[in-house]
Chain A
Amino acid sequence: GENVEQHPSTLSVQEGDSAVIKCTYSDSASNYFPWYKQELGKRPQLIIDIRSNVGEKKDQRIAVTLNKTAKHFSLHITETQPEDSAVYFCAARTGGGADGLTFGKGTHLIIQP
């Protein structure tokens, strides 16, 4: 089955700086890669996603890049703000989505004032 590795497990950045979280996946058939933000005690919330036919996608301060050859994808957050502090999860899905998502173990992003 699919295996998703996520790094780093904790990331501390100064407010206003950029943050980058990286994930690798093992199954070359995976074709959908969402990123979720989870605040303490809350459900995961989709913040951005990318499909395998696209190399990069941007939404305001958030961007995701995908390298299918190397089987890795990354989340980039620019101009970080205190409200960006949360746990972020990457995930991968294979085929038609019937078998659900495989998640990375999460990155705890801490924005230092």
Chain B
Amino acid sequence: NAGVTQTPKFQVLKTGQSMTLQCAQDMNHEYMSWYRQDPGMGLRLIHYSVGAGITDQGEVPNGYNVSRSTTEDFPLRLLSAAPSQTSVYFCASTTRGSGNTIYFGEGSWLTVV
């Protein structure tokens, strides 16, 4: 049981490039989400999904796209990277229902130059 798996762990992009951060979970969780973590800012919700085919915006969605074609996968796409998107990204998953434990991936360190 791998839990929540994120790839890549480290990535350097040039401004304007696009890329996809991959996230997969093997716990059959309905809910998945993406957060970004910046120094002194805590974690902020980017996008989330309550099931396959359903996605919605969180607190800081601009510049990011997501899709949820399967229960297991929830990729995050940066269409045209900007230096302001330099951050650590965490994918998370949980089961349906209030108060269930949220499991985080190990994080992806992204630098945009």
CB atoms of B99 and A100 under 8 A apart? no
CB atoms of A98 and B59 under 8 A apart? no
CB atoms of B45 and A102 under 8 A apart? yes
Measured between alpha carbons, how far is A52 from B72 in the docked complex, in Å? 30
The answer to whether B68 has its CB under 8 Å from any CB of chain A is no
Measured between alpha carbons, how far is A49 from B97 in the docked complex, in Å? 15
CB atoms of B31 and A98 under 8 A apart? yes
Measured between alpha carbons, how far is A98 from B90 in the docked complex, in Å? 17
CB atoms of A44 and B31 under 8 A apart? no
CB atoms of B101 and A99 under 8 A apart? no
The answer to whether B73 has its CB under 8 Å from any CB of chain A is no
Residues of A near any B CB (own CB < 8 A): 1, 6, 9, 31-32, 34, 42-46, 49, 51, 89, 91, 93, 95-106
CB atoms of A89 and B48 under 8 A apart? no
CB atoms of A34 and B102 under 8 A apart? yes
How many chain B residues touch the partner (CB < 8 A)?
Answer: 28
B13, chain A: closest CB distance, angstroms: 20
CB atoms of B40 and A105 under 8 A apart? yes
Measured between alpha carbons, how far is A89 from B92 in the docked complex, in Å? 16
**B31-67 residues at the A interface, CB under 8 angstroms:** 31, 33, 35, 40-45, 48, 50, 56, 58-59
Provide the residues of chain B in CB contact with A6, threshold 8 Å.
42
Q: What are 30 A-B contacts defined by CB distance under 8 Å?
A: A6-B42, A9-B40, A31-B98, A31-B99, A32-B99, A42-B106, A43-B90, A43-B104, A43-B105, A43-B106, A44-B104, A89-B42, A93-B98, A96-B96, A96-B98, A97-B97, A98-B31, A98-B48, A98-B50, A99-B45, A100-B35, A100-B58, A102-B45, A103-B35, A103-B42, A103-B44, A104-B42, A105-B40, A105-B41, A106-B40
Provide the residues of chain A in CB contact with B41, threshold 8 Å.
105
A98, chain B: closest CB distance, angstroms: 5
CB atoms of A101 and B50 under 8 A apart? no
Measured between alpha carbons, how far is A6 from B40 in the docked complex, in Å? 11
